[in-house]
Amino acid sequence: MTDSKFLDCYAVLQLSPSADLETVERVYRLLAKRYHPDNADSGDAEKFRELHSAYEILADAGRRAEFDRCYAANKRSESTVFAQSAATTGQSDDRRVFRSVLSVLFEQRRKNPVSGGLGSVDLERILGIPNQELEFPTWYLKRKGWIEVLDSGQFAITVDGIDTIVSEGGTFSEDRMIESGIGSTTPGSKEAAAA
C-alpha cells in the first residue's frame, strides 16, 4: 500500500467503508461474474484483476485494518474539486456542482456507454462533497433529465446531459477532478437559464 497509485478498494467494489464481510463477499461475487474475462458480454481482465486485488485486501481482517489506515490518510490528503464550504453558497456554486457532477458522470459513461455510472459514495469521494449536500444537485439534474438512476442504483449521465455539457465547450480537462481544482470556465447559457 505504499505504491504511488492508491487503489481505493471501497470504490473498486462500490462499497461503503462500513460494509461488513458478508456484503464484501456478496458484492465481489456479483462484480466478478460481470467482469470475469470469460464473460463474453461484459468481461474486462483489467477490471477483474482490480476487483480481485480489492477483495483480497478487504476480505482479510489484518490487511483491511492496514488498508483502512492508508485509506483515512489518503482521504485527508486527497485533492477535491473545490472546497466543501463553497458547495452551498449561492447559485454560481450550485452551477459548479451541477457541472462537476455532469463532468464526472460523462467520463464514466465514456468508459462504459451501456452501464457507466457512479454510486453516491463514489460521487461524494470524487467531488469532496458530503452526500447530504449532493441531494439537491442530483435531484435537480434528475428532474432536468440530465442524469438518471440505473438499475444498479448508480447515477449516470443521459443523452440530454451529454448534449448540455458538450454544448458548453466539450472539454473536461479543466474541470475534471484534477489536483489544481475546478477550472475557471463558467457554465453555458442553457445551465444558467435552468438555475
Q: What is the CATH number of the domain that holds 111?
A: 1.10.10.10
Domain boundary among 20, 48, 77: 77
Q: What is the CATH number of the domain that holds 29?
A: 1.10.287.110
- Do 47 and 101 lie in one domain? The reply is no
| pLDDT the model gives residue 69 | 85
Helix H or strand E encompassing 156: strand 155-157
pLDDT of residue 91 exceeding 80, the answer is no
107 inside domain: yes
Instruction: Taking residues 85-101, report their average pLDDT.
Output: 70
| pLDDT the model gives residue 63 | 93
Per DSSP, the residues of 16-27 read -TT--HHHHHHH
- Do 186 and 110 lie in one domain? The reply is yes
Higher pLDDT, 111 or 191: 111
Higher pLDDT, 141 or 176: 141
Q: Are 13 and 51 in contact (CB under 8 A)?
A: yes
- Do 58 and 115 lie in one domain? The reply is no
Q: Please, what is the average pLDDT of the chain?
A: 77
| pLDDT the model gives residue 171 | 39
Based on the structure, what is the number of domains in the chain? 2
Q: Domain span at residue 149? A: 84-194
Q: Can you read off the three cell numbers belonging to residue 10?
A: 471501497
* Long-range residue pairs from 105-110, CB within 8 A, at least 24 positions apart, any chain: 105/147, 105/155, 105/156, 105/157, 105/161, 106/157, 106/161, 106/162, 106/165, 106/172, 107/172, 107/176, 108/156, 108/157, 109/156, 109/157, 109/162
- Do 109 and 44 lie in one domain? The reply is no
13 inside domain: yes
